[in-house]
A and B are shown apart, each in its own frame.
Chain A
Amino acid sequence: MFQKDKDVFDVLFESVSEGVIVVNDTQQIVAVNSSAEYMFGYSKNELLHQHLDILIPPAYHKHHSQHVDGFMEQKKRRQMGRGRDLHGAHKNGHTFPVEAGLNPLNINGETYVMALVIDITERKKQEDALKALNNELEKKVALRTKELTDTVKDLKKANEKRDVEIRKRIEAQNKISNALKKEKELNELKTKFLSLVSHEFKTPLSGILTSAMLLGKYKLTEQQSRRDKHLKTISDKVHYLNNILNDFLSVEKLETGKVTYKFGSFRLTKVVDEVIYNANMLLKEGQNINYPNNIDELSLYQDEKIVELALSNLVHNAIKYSPEEATIDIDIKQDKTYTFFKVSDEGIGIPVADQKQIFNRYFRAENALLTQGTGIGLNIVKSHLENLGGIISFESEEHKGSTFTIQIPNKANT
């Protein structure tokens, strides 16, 4: 039908909404439709026989020619300007974005190219607007993301800070609860200690008071020996109480590091004789102390009072915690550097469960609670010995007895 009726073809050609431009192999325009006229602002007559460049902005002429040559060689139908923006040049000089499809034709042995051109100004505008909107959105998203990231960071920091704060609080809480626990323990210890001290003081005070009462009853000359006995009791008990007080004061001094030692040379026998003499007065019925005779030549350069205190503490404990008829052995040895005092008894011994705490201040073993004592003697001895480079140790079995050993340098490190 188209071949028969050229008018029909023309109507169709004109009715296409895209601009149709046909060029020959030298890029001369040979046909255009109305849409193309309208699009580019030229009349058909102004375009026919013109080089295609009239419709292309001058800046693209050179590239366009190369593309046309390439297209002519391949002669394949294709979308024009793939990957780049195409522009048309309007008669009035402005350029506008286009989309074009190229169709190679062969009519009567001549090569033609039909270009279908669409003005995409509006679409481009929309695209640009969309792009701008997108960009804007992306910027906003980026901004929001950044804000969010910052907020997350801040939150994280705040969290970390809070965690640190919580940790600090927990630590503080633990410290407080520990302090409270310690305070409670100390309080209990204090109560226990006060009760012990009360007992420790009241019994000897009763001794003093009863002796004083008895002194008042013996008024006859022949009763002098009774009076002497009670005067001695009073004197002994006063010394005993004084020693307990000194022990308490030593604790305070040892704790605050205010102890000063008086070093000097002395014979061991002097100390041992003094300790044994005092201990003999405390012996229970049938108790007996074995002590070494081979120490006449031994001497020490130490604080004599402290050595005496340590040895007498061990001997007094041995007496106190041993039954009647028991034997207490004192053994003394000396090597080049150290002197060793060993005091063994056949007493109640220290229960295994209490052995770890036996040197703790105010501690009394469970089986010694009914025996007088303050629980500071061994603690003081240990502290003094440690200050003087010495060691105290023990072996003990409940119901069998204990052996305490003191090791002290022969020459104090002054």
Chain B
Amino acid sequence: MKNILLIEDDTILRENTAELLELSSYNVVTAPNGKAGLERAKAFVPDIIICDIMMPELDGYGVLEGLSKYEDTKYIPFIFLSAKTERKDVRKGMDLGADDYITKPFEEEELISAIESRLAKASILKDIRVQETVEAVNEVQDIRNLNDLKNFLMITAKPINSNKGKPYMKKGSIPTIFIL
């Protein structure tokens, strides 16, 4: 079950929207203003956030900006749900990095479909990020291996250097180099 954080200051709309989402089998956490919303996002790290814009304490734009500062929250899909319906408002929201913008009053299908598509996309992006992380970790591991080798070489090279000018070299003193 996916977790949704719903940030909305209007009590009725918050309760109703949460109820609708729960009936669609989502687990919903709510917050009555931007400040509380940001705290809950950091504490619960939901799968997706639905957020109003005009709210006391901290507005929706502030929430989005706040989320982008934390590694845990900056990749969470973010949907604005706002009564600000002018083109410039939508533009601003999207420019700030929101994944979608739904205007009030909204239809249930519109909201659910936006959530599902954002979750699906987020899942792909997450896979990519995981893959990238695995690759990055492997790369780091390779570098570590290479460093180990380098260190080994430095150690094994020492006796060679220190034996410089000496007529004999003990048998078996540099076997690893040959193995490599």
Of the A-B pairs whose beta carbons lie under 8 Å apart in the complex, a sample of 22, sorted by A's number, is A198-B83, A198-B84, A198-B85, A199-B83, A199-B84, A201-B83, A202-B83, A202-B85, A207-B10, A207-B12, A208-B105, A209-B106, A209-B107, A210-B105, A211-B16, A213-B108, A214-B23, A236-B12, A324-B32, A370-B57, A371-B54, A372-B10
A242 at the interface (CB under 8 A from B): no
Q: Are A207 and B16 in contact (CB under 8 A)?
A: yes
B126 at the interface (CB under 8 A from A): no
Specify the chain B residue showing the minimal Cβ separation from A213: B108
Chain A residues with CB under 8 Å of B19's CB are 210, 214
Name the prevailing secondary structure of the B interface residues: loop
Binary flags per residue of A310-340, CB closer than 8 Å to B gives 1, else 0: 0000000000000010000000000000000
| Shortest distance between the CB of A17 and any CB in chain B (Å) | 114
Residues A210 and B13 in contact in the complex (CB < 8 Å), given A199-B54, A370-B55: yes
Q: Are A370 and B85 in contact (CB under 8 A)?
A: no
B20 at the interface (CB under 8 A from A): yes
Among B77-119, those with CB < 8 Å from A are 83-86, 103-108
Among A130-169, those with CB < 8 Å from B are none
Measured in the bound complex, the distance between the Cα atoms of B83 and A383 in whole Å is 30
Chain B residues with CB under 8 Å of A372's CB are 9-10, 54
A65 at the interface (CB under 8 A from B): no
Chain B residues with CB under 8 Å of A195's CB are 84, 86
A217 at the interface (CB under 8 A from B): yes
Among A186-224, those with CB < 8 Å from B are 195, 198-199, 201-211, 213-214, 217
A379 at the interface (CB under 8 A from B): no
Q: Are B16 and A203 in contact (CB under 8 A)?
A: no
Specify the chain B residue showing the minimal Cβ separation from A320: B56
Q: Are B16 and A233 in contact (CB under 8 A)?
A: yes
B59 at the interface (CB under 8 A from A): yes
A75 at the interface (CB under 8 A from B): no
B17 at the interface (CB under 8 A from A): yes
Measured in the bound complex, the distance between the Cα atoms of B103 and A209 in whole Å is 13
**Chain B residues with a Cβ under 8 A of chain A:** 9-10, 12-13, 16-17, 19-20, 23, 32, 54-57, 59, 83-86, 103-108
A237 at the interface (CB under 8 A from B): yes
Measured in the bound complex, the distance between the Cα atoms of B85 and A213 in whole Å is 21
Q: Are B108 and A237 in contact (CB under 8 A)?
A: no
Measured in the bound complex, the distance between the Cα atoms of B101 and A33 in whole Å is 137
Measured in the bound complex, the distance between the Cα atoms of B9 and A209 in whole Å is 17
Residues A214 and B16 in contact in the complex (CB < 8 Å), given A202-B104, A203-B83, A370-B59: yes
**Given A206-B105, A207-B16, A214-B19: 12 more A-B contacts, CB < 8 Å:** A198-B84, A199-B84, A201-B83, A202-B85, A203-B10, A207-B10, A208-B105, A209-B106, A214-B16, A233-B12, A285-B32, A371-B9
Specify the chain A residue showing the minimal Cβ separation from B17: A210
| Shortest distance between the CB of A314 and any CB in chain B (Å) | 19
Measured in the bound complex, the distance between the Cα atoms of B13 and A217 in whole Å is 17
Measured in the bound complex, the distance between the Cα atoms of B57 and A204 in whole Å is 20
| Shortest distance between the CB of B147 and any CB in chain A (Å) | 54
Chain A residues with CB under 8 Å of B106's CB are 206, 209
Q: Are B56 and A370 in contact (CB under 8 A)?
A: yes
Measured in the bound complex, the distance between the Cα atoms of B84 and A348 in whole Å is 24
Measured in the bound complex, the distance between the Cα atoms of B83 and A199 in whole Å is 5
Chain A residues with CB under 8 Å of B85's CB are 198, 202
Measured in the bound complex, the distance between the Cα atoms of B13 and A233 in whole Å is 10
Q: Are A237 and B12 in contact (CB under 8 A)?
A: yes
6 shortest interchain CB distances as A-B pairs = A210-B16, A202-B83, A206-B105, A206-B104, A207-B12, A199-B83
Chain B residues with CB under 8 Å of A206's CB are 10, 13, 83, 104-106
Measured in the bound complex, the distance between the Cα atoms of B108 and A211 in whole Å is 11
Q: Are B13 and A203 in contact (CB under 8 A)?
A: yes
Chain B residues with CB under 8 Å of A324's CB are 32
Among A318-372, those with CB < 8 Å from B are 324, 348, 370-372
| Shortest distance between the CB of B22 and any CB in chain A (Å) | 10
Chain A residues with CB under 8 Å of B107's CB are 209, 213
| Shortest distance between the CB of A345 and any CB in chain B (Å) | 14
Measured in the bound complex, the distance between the Cα atoms of B9 and A285 in whole Å is 12
Query: B56 is contacted by which of A199, A203, A285, A371 (Cβ under 8 Å)?
Result: A371
Q: Are B105 and A205 in contact (CB under 8 A)?
A: yes
Measured in the bound complex, the distance between the Cα atoms of B39 and A59 in whole Å is 134
Measured in the bound complex, the distance between the Cα atoms of B16 and A106 in whole Å is 151
Q: Are A214 and B20 in contact (CB under 8 A)?
A: yes
Specify the chain B residue showing the minimal Cβ separation from A207: B12
Measured in the bound complex, the distance between the Cα atoms of B13 and A198 in whole Å is 16
Chain B residues with CB under 8 Å of A236's CB are 12
Chain B residues with CB under 8 Å of A237's CB are 12
Specify the chain B residue showing the minimal Cβ separation from A283: B11
Chain A residues with CB under 8 Å of B103's CB are 202
Most chain A CB inside 10 Å of its own CB: which residue of B19, B23, B57 = B19
Most chain A CB inside 10 Å of its own CB: which residue of B16, B106, B107 = B16
| Shortest distance between the CB of A77 and any CB in chain B (Å) | 116
Specify the chain B residue showing the minimal Cβ separation from A284: B32
Chain B residues with CB under 8 Å of A370's CB are 54-57, 59
Measured in the bound complex, the distance between the Cα atoms of B83 and A210 in whole Å is 14
Q: Are A210 and B56 in contact (CB under 8 A)?
A: no
Chain B residues with CB under 8 Å of A205's CB are 104-105
Measured in the bound complex, the distance between the Cα atoms of B114 and A187 in whole Å is 36
Specify the chain B residue showing the minimal Cβ separation from A234: B12
